Structure 1
């Protein structure tokens, strides 16, 4: 979030510099008005835009795969049985409090306008409403309402009304209201106030040039300094002392030549640079000194190292851990990184190729079996993918719901909260943490194949009890036959007294998925899925695009799936971006 806000402000500042240096002195007021509003809005979405044509590093596009093992939203439960959410971090709390205060101030200003509306004498016209304010010299407009004080002379009212009607016809209040709402959301961004001020200036230039009032008469009105003002940021006041000189300068200025509109083309290289920045993927620098100190590692060049183990076989735990550290160090590399693994006598043992979040083990020429980082995941029978089953399982009470999937999630979370009891022994011992639960809705609608993994048996037992009490459901169907459909849900047990500082609560997955694995002799790719920080991910959906084989990772993130070389694998996990890799 912080990076997004910094990028937004940087882009807005870039657009603003172009405006101040090249555009603001021109008389293309409508163009400048569109530029300011468009540039501000564009800066809000630019950080999320990534165009392949601008990417500095070419990588395969990420394919999106639907979840076939549905991952239900996490349920967080407190010791009193009530739902307990995570404590909102201060870096989010401060902006929210500021926005609430800004919203209150915005509402207060709206109330001030409404009170003036009630105090004045209303005259309804075809294209506007004229409101005469008693004992006042005020002159301003807000949408179709033109407010004029009764102390103004008839000649002044006539000239001012022509001026304010330009604001009404061109909907200038809508521009200012947009920026006022942006001030509520981004009250901490000083550029919002600058953009609003500059847009307000353009409104006055447009009204001055479009009112039809002779320039001499406008000069006299502006210099009279007899008009009252209102401290409301989203109205169009006729008189504003800070704008006096600028408005008179613009009235004297000759219209800009049409060729000067070519200046707006300066936006193109600036926009191109911004898109190039947002499309680039940052590579993490490799700490070569740290890399060279790992046991058995010899740096060959920046994209390859030699890893030599001791003994006749690769069994030493510290050496295996060192190799894992080395692999994870380079998982995000955009260029291929190679690890040449050799035995004590320098004989080749294997080669690891690492690139774009995946590591592939290339076997020796004679295909001699090896024991490098064996994976223990087993092929699992997971039923019919949830996204492909013709009739999804139905939770009791959801039979007539228009969205049975969403209804299923609501009802199962409701069931967990209503049946939850924090084990007293776990409370006394200060035990808390996340229990990962995998289960299947069987062909008879019952809950089967329940698997749990948590920080303590007490929490696992309670989670198992809750899941076992799920009601009988209507089973899923595929081609007229009842089938199994798998589900996964994390249940977090949290003690309120320790919620903010106890490190036993397992953190949530962050970043993106990483895959480490290899092909075996039987045509299976065996691997492990983790997040960016190495946290094992249970319940990851793995789909082979060609053969349509599928698997689900176990509690340690291990999986095994039957594939062929060159085939694509898609990985889906709730809360992280989908991931795609090609088996080499």
Structure 2
């Protein structure tokens, strides 16, 4: 979700930069109005669109955390449920978002109440089928939907100029535009670009109204009337204010400005490569957070496939690093079959044909001497794991090298062949002495009853990490 929001903000920023640099000074006011209304919506939609042909070129990474056998002094190992941490963080963010919506929604409600109270205080008149509210002892002037608010202290000439201008706002439904951004300000209260969009739209609407009025009135007389009149500015952000000190200069400039040449409308074609570039970006980007949240939602369903996938995921995290066979099994499941490839009816068939069987999927695990052969497969796995761990702890010489100190980690892999013998012992560590000691200790493991797969004795791969502390 956070990644999605960041993409929205980034896209809106790009759209606004294009508007300010290329379109803002053109007199294609209605086109610009459409641009300012459509591009915020595009910024919400584009991150959700993915081009599969591009996405398929992005490789996936698998990261698995190894569990550890601890030797020597006890160490403080803390296991953190990352799902709970993520859910807790999401919970806090959602509540903060709700709080912002409540505050901004309350502000909008206060603004509406203020308008209602102003309307109650004023005197209502109907001019050309539109509602005019004369407000006592003030010279404010603004419009909200079909209602025009005018200060009573304004002269009849001033009122006539204002009404002609404000009627354009009414006829072109400008209040809907501003209210649209007001709603966005409530939902996306943390996004400053929504406020910029609303400001750009309000300014553009003044240009539109001025342009329409000057079609029937002399431009020079109109902008001179603007200079000679000073009206209060309403603080309600979703109303169309007739006069605003910071805007009057730009309005006069736009009134005097010659119409932009038709060829300049080609500037709007900038949207084509812009939107295409955004689509490429969203298709190539990988929203880890979004995927994670989606997976959590799906995992709560009762679908059998997702249940199995979750069980597999938990098993991988509990076991730790994947053996070569396990990696090949995952690759087998994730790889798309090509024409001419052999068709396997199961993962077991694939693994059986590729020599060694991983300990995690073996039907009948190797049995360590002393373990009860009548036990279930899972119990035999646990018995064997416990026995090997005990063997390592009792026989490993942690003083193999005096210069080695601190926490040491060794990755060990070995096979239990079809006769039950331990062979092909390999170790990897920061020091050769530790590797040699690990190979020595694991090679001392007794002969076991071999594992079986589909009634046949098979070679089983077993991986074991060793972690211990050497004090100086």
Give TM-score, length-normalised by structure 1: 0.47
What is the aligned counterpart of 1:97 among 96, 99, 104?
99
Question: Is 1:140 matched with 2:142?
Answer: yes
What secondary structure, in the 3-state scheme, does the structure 2 residue paired with 1:89 have? helix
Q: Which residue of 2 aligns with 1:155?
A: 157
- Corresponding residue number in structure 1 for 2:73: none
Q: Mapping of 1:436-475 within 5 angstroms?
A: none
The alignment partner of 2:358 has SS state of coil
Matching residue of 2:193: 191
User: Which residue of structure 1 aligns with residue 51 of structure 2?
Assistant: 51
* Residues 27, 255 of structure 1: 8 Å contact kept: yes
**Alpha carbons of 1:205 and 1:373: their partners in 2 closer, same or farther (altered >3 Å)?**
farther
- Do structure 1's residue 17 and structure 2's residue 3 form an aligned pair? no
Q: Residue 114 in 1 paired to residue 116 in 2?
A: yes
Shift of 1:143: 0.4
Cα 1:98–1:171 change in 2 (3 A) is: same
Cα distance, 1:234–1:371 mapped onto 2, change above 3 Å? same
User: CA separation in 2, counterparts of 1:193 and 1:229?
Assistant: 18
Q: Distance in 1 between matches of 2:202 and 2:255?
A: 16
Matched residue SS, 1:14: helix
What stretches of structure 2 of length at least 5 have no aligned partner?
60-86, 289-317, 364-472
Q: C-alpha distance in 2, partners of 1:209/1:143? A: 20
Asked whether 1:233 is paired with 2:266, we answer no
Q: How does 1:189-268 map to 2 (within 5 A)?
A: 189-211=191-213, 212-268=216-272
Q: Give distance in 2, aligned partners of 1:148 and 1:260.
A: 38
Q: 2: CA distance between counterparts of 1:324 and 1:128?
A: 79
3-state SS of paired residue (2:161): helix
Change (3 A) 1:47 1:330: farther
- Matched with 2:179 is 177
- 8 Å Cα contact 1:138/1:227 also seen in 2: yes
Distance, in Å, in 2 between the alignment partners of 1:268 and 1:18 is 12
Task: Tell me the distance in 2 between the aligned counterparts of 1:368 and 1:145.
Answer: 80
**8 Å CA contact 2:166, 2:209 repeated in 1:** yes
Q: Is the 8 A contact 1:102 1:184 kept in 2?
A: yes
The superposition leaves residues 81-119 of structure 1 with CA deviations (integer Å, 9 ceiling, x where unpaired) of: xxxx98972222222111110000011001111111111
| Structure-1 separation of matches of 2:287 and 2:110 | 48
CA distance in 1, matches of 2:253, 2:335: 56
Task: Give the secondary-structure state (helix, strand or coil) at the position aligned to 2:357.
Answer: coil
Distance 1:87-1:23 versus aligned 2 partners, 3 A rule: closer
In the alignment, structure 1 segments of 5+ residues that lack a partner are 60-84, 285-316, 337-350, 378-584
Q: 1:204/1:360 Cα in 2 relative to 1: closer, same or farther (>3 Å)? A: farther
Does the Cα contact within 8 Å between 2:133 and 2:149 map onto a contact in 1? yes
Aligned length: 300
CA contact (8 A) 2:323 2:358 kept: no
Q: How far does residue 214 in structure 1 lie from its aligned partner after superposition?
A: 2.3
Whether contact under 8 Å (2:326, 2:358) holds in the other structure is no
Q: 1 CA distance for matches of 2:357 and 2:329?
A: 18
- CA distance 1:359–1:220, shift in 2 (3 Å): farther
Distance, in Å, in 1 between the alignment partners of 2:286 and 2:201 is: 36
Is residue 131–residue 148 contact of structure 2 (8 Å, CA) maintained in 1? Answer: yes
Alpha carbons of structure 1 residues 45 and 368: separation in structure 2 relative to 1, 3 Å: closer
Alpha-carbon distance, 1:332 to partner: 11
> Would the alpha carbon gap of residues 324 and 168 (structure 1) be closer, same or farther in structure 2, given more than 3 Å must change?
farther
| SS, match of residue 154 in structure 2 | coil
In structure 2, relative to structure 1, the CA distance for the partners of 1:143 and 1:369 (3 Å cut) is same
- Cα distance change, pair 272–215 in 1 and its aligned pair in 2 (3 A): same
Distance 1:124 1:276, change over 3 A: same
Equivalent residue, structure 2, for 1:30 = 30
Is the CA contact 2:47–2:282 (under 8 Å) kept in the aligned structure 1?
A: yes
Relative to the length of structure 2, the TM-score reads 0.57
User: Following superposition of structure 1 onto structure 2, how do residues 483-494 of structure 1 map, counting pairs within 5 Å?
Assistant: none
The residue that corresponds to 2:125 in the other structure is 123
Q: 1:360 to 1:369 in 2, by over 3 A?
A: closer
Q: SS of the counterpart of 1:147?
A: strand
1:299-314 equivalences under 5 Å are none
Backbone CA RMSD of aligned residues? 3.6
Deviations 1:354-386 (A, max 9, x none): xxxx9897467xx48753356489xxxxxxxxx
Aligned counterpart, 2:280: 276
Superimposed CA distance per residue, residues 114-136 of structure 1 (whole angstroms, 9 cap, x where no aligned partner): 11111111113454211111111
Query: Counterpart of 2:323 in 1: which secondary structure?
Result: helix
Which of the two has greater strand per residue?
Answer: 1
Q: For each residue in 1:126-155, what CA deviation from the matched residue of structure 2 results, as whole angstroms up to 9, or x when unmatched?
A: 542111111110111010001111111111
What is the rounded CA distance, in whole Å, between the counterparts of 1:224 and 1:362 in structure 2? 88
* Change beyond 3 A, Cα 1:86–1:278: closer
Give the structure with the higher percent helix: 2
CA deviations 1:10-60 (Å, max 9, x no partner) are 01111111111111110000000000110011101111111335546289x
Alpha-carbon distance, 1:220 to partner: 2.3
| Shift in alpha-carbon separation, 1:162–1:126, aligned structure 2, 3 A | closer
